[in-house]
Structure 1
Amino acid sequence: MKVNSFFLLSFIFLLSCSKIEPRRPINPKPSTTIYKEVIEDSKKINKAEDEMLAELIKKDTLLNFKQSSQGFWYAYNHQIQENLPTPKLGDEVVIVYQISDLNDAIIYSKEELGQKTYKIDKEDFISGLQKGIKLMKTGETITFVLPFYNAFGVLGDGNKIGVNQSIKITVTLIKITN
């Protein structure tokens, strides 16, 4: 009897040691190819926007625009030749600016926006303008042409600036303080 119960227990033990396979998810994660397609589409849209802005800038006979490595164009309306400092991380600047569309129709006037105090790279502000202000000296006025992805992006500002709208911003740097 002891031998039979030993074999029975051994048999049950061997059957219970079978390998358990994990359960597969019912809804597998979406393929990363969808994300890759969205990224590729965004790159194409951004490239088309850059080409359109480059053509627009070529037609501008009043200002001499330069392309920055930061993804925007800029031209000096009034340039200071003196060796003055430019703003750096943590500096506080006071600016006056105006936002217009690419056809120079004013969206937000200087009066509407008033003076803006901005702490360099410490506050949320228009992406392209954050980078552009670092090029300026006190007293200079620069016009920036910002593609939508360096301005208010795919959402606009929820008011006067539309979805995927590129803009021009004319900025005068009033003061830099440390």
Structure 2
Amino acid sequence: MLKRIVFLGIIIATLVSCAQKEARKPVNIRSGTFLKESVERNKALVAKEEAMIQKYIQRDSANTYLASKNGFWYFYNTKAPDEETYLPQKGDTLTYEFDAAKIAGNTIYKKEEFGIQEYVVDKQQVIPGLRFGLQLMKKGETVTFLFPSHIAYGYHGDNKKIGTNIPIKSTITLLDIKKDNKNLETEN
């Protein structure tokens, strides 16, 4: 009799444990509203900054601005001689100096505060605007860039003098290009 009760208990336990379990429902249901609102805020911010930059460009009749495919505008203060044709490529080491100001003109950093900088193209971290801008320049050129905040210092700023969502006007001089050995081989 005891064997039958134990056997029957094992069969019942097996059947109960094999029953299909129902999935638990999540405690919180997310609708995606936060992400949608964030996207809309960012679109509005970009539109506002681009309108401010366009207004600045219209007032600056002394310079001819070019629009980049990366979402910023620029003009040449000093163009390289015609014989200088090389544009920076991945792995090249660039020596440059630059400043940073608000679009309205208030200087944030003078070039002396940054000092002479070096950047290895596409192998070091710099703000996107600087990375894209330097790749448009030839040795010896000085170019003034207008960067919306999303390709400048963004939401966080630089945690020093540049605050949240500040579009930047930066004048950059490309002092030298040390070509990467791979790029020397393809040039010849």
Residue 15 of structure 1 and its aligned partner are, at CA, apart by: 6.2
Give the 3 Å change call, closer, same or farther, for CA 41–105 of structure 1 in structure 2. Answer: closer
Q: Which stretch shifts more, 106-115 or 31-40? A: 31-40
The 5-angstrom pairing of residues 7-86 of structure 1 reads 9=8, 12=12, 16=16, 17-25=18-26, 27-83=27-83, 84-86=85-87
Instruction: Write the distance in 1 (CA, Å) between the matches of 2:140 and 2:95.
Output: 11
Aligned length: 173
Which residue does the alignment assign to 1:99? 100
Contiguous gaps of at least 5 residues in structure 2:
180-188
SS of residue in 2 equivalent to 1:77: strand
The one-letter code matched in structure 1 to 2:132 is: K
Report the TM-score, using the length of structure 1 for normalisation.
0.87
Which residue does the alignment assign to 1:134? 135
Give the 3 Å change call, closer, same or farther, for CA 15–94 of structure 1 in structure 2. Answer: closer
Contiguous gaps of at least 5 residues in structure 1:
none
Runs of 4+ with deviation above 3 angstroms: 8-15
Give the 3 Å change call, closer, same or farther, for CA 55–18 of structure 1 in structure 2. Answer: same
The one-letter code matched in structure 2 to 1:164 is: N
* Cα deviation 1:28-51 (Å, max 9, x = unaligned): 352223212211221121122112
Report the TM-score, using the length of structure 2 for normalisation.
0.83
Q: Which stretch shifts more, 129-138 or 62-71? A: 62-71
Instruction: Write the distance in 1 (CA, Å) between the matches of 2:48 and 2:34.
Output: 21
Give the 3 Å change call, closer, same or farther, for CA 82–19 of structure 1 in structure 2. Answer: same
Question: Quick check: 1:89 aligned with 2:100?
Answer: no
* Cα deviation 1:64-107 (Å, max 9, x = unaligned): 11111101110000112414201011110000111111122221
SS of residue in 1 equivalent to 2:99: strand
The one-letter code matched in structure 2 to 1:118 is: Y
